Chain A
Amino acid sequence: MNERYESSREEKSGHLIKAIIGTIVFLFLFVGLIAIGRYLVIETIPEFESVFQNTLLYAAAIGIPLSIVFGLTQYFNKGSTKRLGFGLLTVLLSIIYFVLVLTSINLGYEGEEFIYNLTMPGLIILIVVGSILKGVFYGLEYHTYRDKKEEKMEEDVQYY
Chain B
Amino acid sequence: MEWKLIGFQTLLAIFAVIIIILSVTSVYPALSGDVDIDIPEEDEVYWNIDNGTVEVQGTMWINNSGYYDLNDIDIDVSLEGLEKELFNDSISVEKVEAGEDRSVILSLQRDTSDFTEGDLETIVFEETTFSIIADMKAVYPFSLLEFNLDYDSSIDWAGIVEDIQYYEEDISIEGTEQGSRVSIPLDVDTTDQLNTTSTVDLTLKNETDGDNYSETQISVPIGGDYSTDVTFELGNNETEHLIFNDEQLHVESVISIEDLGYTVTNTTIFNWEAPVRYIDFLYEQARVESVPTGSELFLPYNVSTTDRLSGLAQADITMYNSDQSVAYNETREMIPLGVETSSELEFSLNESETEKFITNSHQVNFIADINLQEKNIDFTYESSYDWGAPLNNLSIGDFSYDLITETISANISFINDSPRELLVNLTVLLFNSQDDLVGSKEISYTDDQDYRVASGEQFSQRITVDVSEEPSYAEVTFTDATTGMELEKVVRR
Contact = CB atoms under 8 A, between A and B. Distances in A.
A114 B12 contact: no
B143 interface: yes
Contact of A117 (B9, B23, B149): B149
Contact of A116 (B4, B11, B16, B149): B149
Interface string A131-149: 0011011001100100110
A121 interface: yes
B12 A119 contact: no
A118 interface: yes
Interface in A45-78: none
A40 interface: no
Interface in A110-160: 113-123, 125-127, 130, 133-134, 136-137, 140-141, 144, 147-148
B111 interface: no
A123 B12 CA distance: 15
A144 B9 CA distance: 14
A107 interface: yes
A127 B19 contact: yes
Nearest to A127: B19
Given A123-B22, A126-B19, A147 B1 contact: yes
Interface string B113-149: 0000000000000000000000000001111111111
B148 A120 contact: no
B8 interface: yes
Interface string B452-489: 00000000000000000000000000000000000000
A62 to B, nearest CB: 18
B5 A114 contact: no
B144 A123 contact: yes
B191 to A, nearest CB: 22
A151 to B, nearest CB: 11
Nearest to A115: B150
Contacts of A137: 5, 8-9, 12
A114 B149 contact: yes
B194 interface: no
B12 A133 contact: yes
A114 B298 CA distance: 87
Contacts of B326: none
A157 B284 CA distance: 159
B30 interface: yes
B152 interface: yes
B5 A144 contact: yes
Contacts of B11: 133
Given A114-B152, A116-B148, A147-B1, A122 B8 contact: no
Interface string B220-236: 00000000000000000
B151 A130 contact: no
Contact of A122 (B5, B145, B149, B153): B145
Contacts of B18: 126
Contact of B150 (A114, A130, A144): A114
A77 B15 CA distance: 26
Contacts of A118: 27, 30-31, 145-148
Contacts of B149: 114-117
Interface size class of B (residues with CB under 8 A): 20 to 34
B12 A107 contact: no
Given A107-B27, A115-B149, A115-B150, A123 B19 contact: yes
Contacts of B12: 130, 133-134, 137
Given A130-B15, A134-B12, A137-B8, A144 B2 contact: yes
B131 to A, nearest CB: 10
A133 B140 contact: no
A137 B9 CA distance: 7
A117 B9 CA distance: 35
B245 interface: no
Given A120-B144, A122-B145, A141 B153 contact: no
Given A120-B145, A130-B19, A141-B5, A113 B31 contact: no
Given A123-B22, A133-B12, A144-B4, A114 B151 contact: yes
B30 to A, nearest CB: 5
B9 A107 contact: no
A142 B11 CA distance: 18
Contacts of B5: 137, 140-141, 144
Nearest to B152: A113
A130 to B, nearest CB: 5
Interface in A95-120: 107-108, 113-120
A144 B5 CA distance: 8
Interface in B129-180: 140-153
A122 B144 contact: yes
Nearest to A144: B1
Given A122-B143, A137-B5, A107 B148 contact: no
A113 B155 CA distance: 11
29 contacts: A113-B153, A114-B153, A115-B149, A116-B147, A116-B149, A117-B147, A117-B149, A118-B27, A118-B148, A119-B148, A120-B27, A122-B143, A122-B144, A122-B145, A123-B22, A123-B23, A123-B26, A123-B145, A125-B143, A126-B19, A130-B12, A130-B15, A130-B16, A137-B8, A137-B9, A137-B12, A140-B4, A140-B5, A141-B5
Interface of B: 1-2, 4-5, 8-9, 11-12, 15-16, 18-19, 22-23, 26-27, 30-31, 39, 140-153
Interface of A: 107-108, 113-123, 125-127, 130, 133-134, 136-137, 140-141, 144, 147-148
Sorted nearest first, the 6 A-B pairs with minimum C-beta distance are A122-B144, A122-B143, A113-B153, A117-B148, A114-B151, A144-B1
Given A117-B148, A121-B143, A126-B19, 17 more contacts: A108-B148, A115-B148, A115-B149, A116-B148, A117-B147, A117-B150, A118-B31, A118-B146, A119-B146, A122-B143, A123-B19, A123-B23, A123-B144, A130-B12, A133-B12, A136-B8, A140-B8
